[in-house]
Amino acid sequence: MEVVTGTGHWYKAGRGLVPVRWVFVHDRDGTHRDEYFFTTDPTLPPKDLIGSYTARWNIETTFQELRAYLGLETTRGWCAQTVLRATPCLFGLYTVVALLYEQLSSEAQGAGGVDWVGKEAVTFSDALTAIRRWLWANWVFAKGNPTPTFAKLPEPLREVLLYALAPAA
């Protein structure tokens, strides 16, 4: 890696020129794209600036999954109070899904996940699907009535139903 840094200025209304540290990162092997990083803290060392950016990956992934699977940005109301109520609830739901998934057996965790080339870890959609399958098989369908109709279905048909419905719900 090659790192070049410097300080420039940015005009901010009411404050005049504000110093901005910039860092350019170049991968000499060509396996990663070149990146520019900026901060208004000119005393921040380049290593710390790059570290701050890379530490955001988990946060960015969390927000992406909250948007994709739990509808973070699709609340019915846009007033401040609605957003302040809904967003913590969605973060809480995301946490509950992660905790429930961790409590599932390894067999239940692997059920219903989608594999693709290069996939190395479980995604949030895999966790959500596994929890839905577990809930439906062990709670919803099992506790519906004294003689569970779902249990009367042949095992292959039950698996097809759970495999098809859990990701789509």
> pLDDT tens for residues 3-27?
999 999 999 888 899 999 999 999 8
What does the block give as tokens for 6? 């410097």
Are 111 and 82 within 8 A, CB to CB?
no
For the entire predicted model, the pTM comes to 0.55
pLDDT tens-place string over residues 52-104: 887 777 777 888 888 787 777 766 777 788 778 888 888 888 889 889 999 98
Angstrom distance (rounded) from CA 163 to CA 169: 11
- In three-state secondary structure terms, 6 is strand
In this structure, is the dihedral angle defined by the CA atoms of residues 127, 129, 130 and 134, taken in order, positive or negative? positive
Angstrom distance (rounded) from CA 135 to CA 114: 19
Q: Is the pLDDT of residue 118 over 80?
A: no
Average pLDDT, the chain: 82
Residue 145 binned pLDDT confidence (cut-offs 50, 70, 90): low
pLDDT at 4: 93
